[in-house]
């Protein structure tokens, strides 16, 4: 093909791809299958690799093109990015309406009411229809250039349908499902969780490596125009219609009102319906529609007089900090926990809140007896967001972090460049006890009936001093029966659950041992690669480093762990007790004749005959790989009761779906073979 034909064909393909991209990611009504879309993309990639000089940064192949940046460049906003004044109740809204009507005289007023998306404000600049720059709000005058990261958002058009020059404002956000999936992944990797979708969207856009943002499934709604050249619009609603016609994703739940009563009723309906949305909103935004009226109203120092943000009642409350408890975790890190006067918050009673580390206590200036504002952070763990010094009586006392371990008395150490204090005594009872709690936990050996309290009791009564002792507990039945709340039946159940855990596939054991830096995912990879714990123990540094997911620090941690004589002793006792050291999942290459060999499977809804964990193991045994979300790479969806959006998506993408009964049939067939 000559260059000119290639140029034409490339242009044609880009337009087609952008068109289908918009249908899929913006309008949610695809016209072609994923396979057809992939084929277009492949053709474009092939042509671009033949004519690399024709690759432009706006090509759909370049959404994740860039290299990691050394830092973000500063961007001046030509038109400042203002924030809005707030309304917290009906009265504030009526006041706003009165102020507006007074300022515009007798003219009729139309308001546009929109959802207030809880994400990160961004500005997008297009020149002659090409996306050239995206920036954060920053302080409103100057933001940071996050073009590379914004380009990874598939609903953001790289080229508009008309060659206009325009600066658009919008909110980048992370859908609830993507947020939950991300946190699940972070949990298995032992990484700190994001408190809410807003923080995780902000964190993702602040990454210097665009590959990270690309993996985070961000999305965007645009809600306004900063600057526009070559088109005229008379009102905000016309502006939104223009944005839509240019190919932007504009939130469809907006409405125009002439009466404040109707507008308030609309807001109240959304306050109720908010949990049903697939993304978080923290309020509603009300804007005067007519630009002429907006101009008449003007601005205060900080915000426009023609708009206001109504904030939903926050899931926050005030209570008293009654004490601070200091606990030692399995890695020796000492964490303070706030003990609160019990208070009800968003449907549950809150008594404790994590304080993470000493620095946070200092930063917030917390004193024992203080009144504090507590917030449910993304429905995960309650958090103290602020202290109310104006409510102090003088009876409050400062808090001193201990200098010595509350459990073993050894001096606490702070490693260089770490905020955390640690107990580094390997014989510290807290470390051992927490290590056992980790060993029996759900993602590790998953021993039912062995909760934190029972482990603590067994440990205190000296029935166990290491994880190996769990497997010798059957010899101490009488001692077990003497424990608090331990009848015949619960002792039997406990011993049975311990016995059953011996059969676990070895990745659970590897994770359960608590080797530093080895999370559940790494444990699975190691189990798959080495097949048996004995092989892992003998593995060399080179062999470990050959594995993609294992970095040098992890390799060293594994080598150090297995070199310890006490570890050898522990493993021998586990082996002697009959704990399985072999990998029972199916290795991908061996699985060729298994029914799910090489298939990617997604579980959704609740299964009635097994837990999710069991189902995942069964799928692995059939040769399949379980992933969290449905995409065009998914081969099969197994849908239990109350399957929701994943099932819907599978339908849309044409992925094969089976119910629990068919899944059971598949398992039975396999056993019969």
User: Which residues are catalytically annotated?
Assistant: 116
223 binds ligand IVH (CB under 6 A): yes
DSSP assignment string, 148-181: HHHHT-TTS-SB-SS--EEEEEEEEE--HHHHHH
304, 369, 551, 595: which one binds ligand IVH (CB under 6 A):
304
Closer residue to ligand IVH (CB): 285 or 615: 285
168 binds ligand IVH (CB under 6 A): no
307 binds ligand IVH (CB under 6 A): yes
CA 147 and chain centroid, separation = 22
Report the nearest approach of ligand IVH to the CB of residue 364 (Å).
24
| Residue 336, phi then psi, degrees to nearest 5 | -85, 140
Report the nearest approach of ligand IVH to the CB of residue 85 (Å).
8
Report the nearest approach of ligand IVH to the CB of residue 224 (Å).
5
Considering only the stretches 37-45, 113-121, 467-475, 565-573, report the one whose residues sit in contact with ligand IVH under the rule CB under 6 A.
113-121
378 binds ligand IVH (CB under 6 A): no
309, 345, 456, 567: which one binds ligand IVH (CB under 6 A):
309
**CA distances in angstroms from 262 to 265, 305, 307, 617, listed in the order given:** 5, 21, 17, 53
Q: How many Å apart are CA 12 and CA 569, to the nearest integer? A: 67
Q: Which one, of 157, 169, 171, lies nearest residue 129 by Cα?
A: 157
Report the nearest approach of ligand IVH to the CB of residue 117 (Å).
4
Residues 56-85, interacting with ligand IVH (CB under 6 A)? 82-84
Closer residue to ligand IVH (CB): 83 or 568: 83
Closer residue to ligand IVH (CB): 122 or 518: 122
Start-to-end C-alpha separation, the chain: 54
| Residue 328, phi then psi, degrees to nearest 5 | -105, 125
At residue 597, the 3 state secondary structure works out as coil
| Residue 508, phi then psi, degrees to nearest 5 | -65, -40
Helical (H) or strand (E) element with 613 = helix 612-621
Q: Which one, of 560, 528, 553, 567, lies nearest residue 435 by Cα?
A: 567
Give yes or no for a contact between 557 and 608, defined as CB atoms under 8 angstroms apart.
Answer: no
Report the nearest approach of ligand IVH to the CB of residue 227 (Å).
13
Closer residue to ligand IVH (CB): 236 or 618: 236
Give yes or no for a contact between 341 and 322, defined as CB atoms under 8 angstroms apart.
Answer: yes
657 binds ligand IVH (CB under 6 A): no
Closer residue to ligand IVH (CB): 37 or 310: 310
The residue number whose beta carbon is nearest to ligand IVH equals 121
22, 63, 77, 116: which one binds ligand IVH (CB under 6 A):
116
Residues 82-101, interacting with ligand IVH (CB under 6 A)? 82-84
Q: Which one, of 297, 305, 150, lies nearest residue 222 by Cα?
A: 150
Q: State both tokens at 600.
A: 């990617």
Q: How many Å apart are CA 319 and CA 542, to the nearest integer? A: 55
Q: Which one, of 64, 183, 185, 70, lies nearest residue 549 by Cα?
A: 185
Closer residue to ligand IVH (CB): 223 or 439: 223
Report the nearest approach of ligand IVH to the CB of residue 281 (Å).
8
Question: Which positions from 171 to 210 touch ligand IVH by CB under 6 A, shown as an x/- string?
Answer: x---------------------------------------
CA 282 and chain centroid, separation = 18
Q: Report the half-sphere exposure of 618 (CA within 13 A, side-chain side).
A: 21
Closer residue to ligand IVH (CB): 309 or 486: 309
Report the nearest approach of ligand IVH to the CB of residue 307 (Å).
5
Give yes or no for a contact between 205 and 213, defined as CB atoms under 8 angstroms apart.
Answer: yes
285, 444, 619, 637: which one binds ligand IVH (CB under 6 A):
285
Considering only the stretches 109-117, 454-462, 503-511, 657-665, report the one whose residues sit in contact with ligand IVH under the rule CB under 6 A.
109-117
Report the nearest approach of ligand IVH to the CB of residue 285 (Å).
4
Closer residue to ligand IVH (CB): 222 or 630: 222
267 binds ligand IVH (CB under 6 A): no
Report the nearest approach of ligand IVH to the CB of residue 471 (Å).
55
How many residues at the interface with ligand IVH, by CB under 6 A?
14
Q: Buried b / exposed e across 76-107, counting CB within 10 Å, b at 16+? A: ebeeebbebeebeeeeebeebbeebeebbeee
Burial of 596 (0-12, 13-18, 19+ CB in 10 A): buried
224 binds ligand IVH (CB under 6 A): yes
Q: How many C-beta neighbours within 10 Å does residue 558 have?
A: 23
* CA dihedral of residues 372, 308, 258, 293 (deg, nearest 10): 170
β-bridge partners, 168: 124, 225
Closer residue to ligand IVH (CB): 276 or 475: 276
Closer residue to ligand IVH (CB): 117 or 639: 117
Question: Which positions from 532 to 561 touch ligand IVH by CB under 6 A, shown as an x/- string?
Answer: ------------------------------
Considering only the stretches 301-309, 402-410, 422-430, 545-553, report the one whose residues sit in contact with ligand IVH under the rule CB under 6 A.
301-309
114 binds ligand IVH (CB under 6 A): yes
117 binds ligand IVH (CB under 6 A): yes
Q: Buried b / exposed e across 499-519, counting CB within 10 Å, b at 16+? A: eebeebbbbbbbbbbbbebbb
Closer residue to ligand IVH (CB): 282 or 556: 282
Report the nearest approach of ligand IVH to the CB of residue 230 (Å).
22
Considering only the stretches 304-312, 457-465, 477-485, 612-620, report the one whose residues sit in contact with ligand IVH under the rule CB under 6 A.
304-312
32 binds ligand IVH (CB under 6 A): no
Q: How many C-beta neighbours within 10 Å does residue 240 have?
A: 23
Q: How many Å apart are CA 9 and CA 4, to the nearest integer? A: 9
Report the nearest approach of ligand IVH to the CB of residue 252 (Å).
12
**Segments of 355-506 assigned E as strands:** 367-368, 371-377, 381-387, 397-398, 421-422
Q: Which one, of 549, 101, 567, lies nearest residue 306 by Cα?
A: 101
Considering only the stretches 21-29, 115-123, 268-276, 406-414, report the one whose residues sit in contact with ligand IVH under the rule CB under 6 A.
115-123
Closer residue to ligand IVH (CB): 296 or 322: 296
135 binds ligand IVH (CB under 6 A): no
Considering only the stretches 114-122, 373-381, 407-415, 481-489, report the one whose residues sit in contact with ligand IVH under the rule CB under 6 A.
114-122
Residues 406-445, interacting with ligand IVH (CB under 6 A)? none
Report the nearest approach of ligand IVH to the CB of residue 115 (Å).
6
Closer residue to ligand IVH (CB): 152 or 251: 251
Burial of 458 (0-12, 13-18, 19+ CB in 10 A): buried
Considering only the stretches 50-58, 116-124, 409-417, 628-636, report the one whose residues sit in contact with ligand IVH under the rule CB under 6 A.
116-124
Q: State both tokens at 206.
A: 């602040």
Longest dimension (CA), the chain: 90
Which residues 6+ apart lie within 8 Å of 438 measured at CB?
A: 330, 444, 512, 514
> Scanning the structure block, which residue is given the tokens 């024709």?
54
Residues that bind ligand IVH (CB under 6 A): 82-84, 114, 116-117, 121, 171, 223-224, 285, 304, 307, 309
């Amino acid at each position: 093909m000559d260059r000119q034909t290639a140029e034409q064909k490339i242009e044609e393909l880009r337009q087609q791809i952008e068109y289908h991209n918009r249908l899929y990611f913006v309008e949610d009504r695809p016209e072609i299958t994923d396979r057809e879309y992939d084929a277009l993309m492949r053709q474009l990639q092939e042509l671009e690799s033949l004519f690399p000089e024709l690759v432009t940064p706006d090509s759909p192949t370049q959404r994740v093109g860039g290299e990691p940046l050394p830092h973000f460049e500063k961007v001046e906003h030509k038109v400042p990015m203002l924030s809005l004044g707030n309304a917290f109740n009906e009265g504030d809204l009526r006041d706003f309406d009165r102020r507006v009507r007074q300022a515009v005289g007798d003219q009729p007023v139309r308001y546009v009411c929109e959802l207030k998306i809880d994400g990160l404000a961004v500005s997008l600049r297009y020149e002659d229809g090409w996306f050239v720059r995206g920036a954060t709000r920053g302080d409103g005058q100057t933001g940071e250039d996050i073009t590379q990261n914004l380009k990874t958002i598939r609903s953001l058009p790289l080229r508009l349908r008309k060659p206009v020059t325009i600066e658009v404002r919008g909110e980048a956000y992370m859908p609830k499902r993507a947020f939950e999936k991300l946190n699940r992944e972070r949990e298995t990797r032992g990484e700190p969780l994001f408190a809410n979708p807003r923080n995780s969207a902000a964190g993702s856009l602040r990454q210097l490596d665009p590959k990270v943002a690309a993996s985070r499934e961000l999305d965007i709604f645009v809600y306004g125009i900063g600057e526009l050249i070559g088109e005229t619009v008379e009102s905000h609603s016309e502006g939104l219609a223009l944005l839509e016609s240019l190919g932007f994703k504009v939130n469809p739940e907006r409405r125009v009102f002439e009466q404040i009563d109707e507008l308030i009723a609309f807001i109240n309906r959304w306050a109720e319906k908010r949990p049903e949305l697939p993304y978080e909103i923290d309020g509603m935004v009300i804007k005067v529609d007519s630009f002429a009226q907006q101009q008449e109203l003007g601005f205060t120092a900080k915000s426009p007089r023609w708009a206001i943000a109504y904030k939903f009642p926050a899931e926050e409350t005030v209570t008293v900090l009654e004490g601070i408890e200091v606990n030692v975790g399995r890695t020796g890190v000492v964490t303070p926990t706030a003990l609160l006067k019990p208070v009800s918050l968003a449907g549950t009673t809150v008594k404790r809140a994590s304080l993470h580390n000493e620095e946070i206590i200092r930063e917030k200036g917390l004193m024992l007896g203080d009144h504090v504002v507590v917030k449910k952070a993304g429905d995960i763990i309650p958090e103290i967001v602020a202290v109310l010094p104006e409510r102090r009586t003088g009876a409050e006392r400062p808090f001193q972090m201990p200098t010595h371990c509350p459990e073993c008395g050894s001096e606490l150490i702070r490693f260089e460049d770490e905020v955390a204090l640690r107990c580094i005594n390997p014989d510290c009872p807290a470390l051992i006890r927490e290590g056992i709690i980790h060993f029996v936990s759900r993602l590790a050996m998953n021993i039912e009936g062995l909760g934190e309290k029972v482990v603590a009791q067994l440990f205190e009564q000296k029935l166990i001093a290491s994880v190996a002792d769990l497997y010798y507990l059957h010899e101490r039945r009488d001692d077990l029966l003497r424990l608090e709340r331990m009848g015949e039946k619960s002792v039997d159940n406990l011993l049975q659950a311990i016995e059953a855990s011996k059969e676990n596939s070895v990745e659970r054991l590897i994770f359960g041992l608590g080797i530093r830096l080895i999370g559940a995912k790494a444990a699975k990879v190691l189990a798959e690669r080495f097949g048996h714990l004995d092989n892992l123990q003998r593995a060399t540094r080179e062999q470990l480093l050959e594995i993609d997911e294992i970095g040098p620090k992890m390799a060293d941690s594994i080598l150090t762990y297995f070199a310890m004589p006490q570890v050898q002793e522990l493993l021998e006792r586990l082996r002697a007790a009959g704990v399985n050291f072999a990998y029972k999942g199916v290795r991908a290459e061996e699985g060729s004749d298994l029914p799910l060999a090489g298939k990617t499977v997604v579980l959704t809804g609740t299964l009635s005959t097994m837990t999710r964990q069991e189902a995942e193991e069964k799928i692995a045994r059939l040769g399949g790989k379980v992933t969290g979300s449905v995409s065009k790479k998914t081969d099969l969806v197994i849908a239990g009761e109350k399957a929701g959006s994943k099932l819907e998506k599978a339908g849309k993408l044409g992925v094969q779906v089976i119910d629990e009964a068919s899944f059971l049939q598949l398992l039975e067939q396999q056993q019969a073979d």
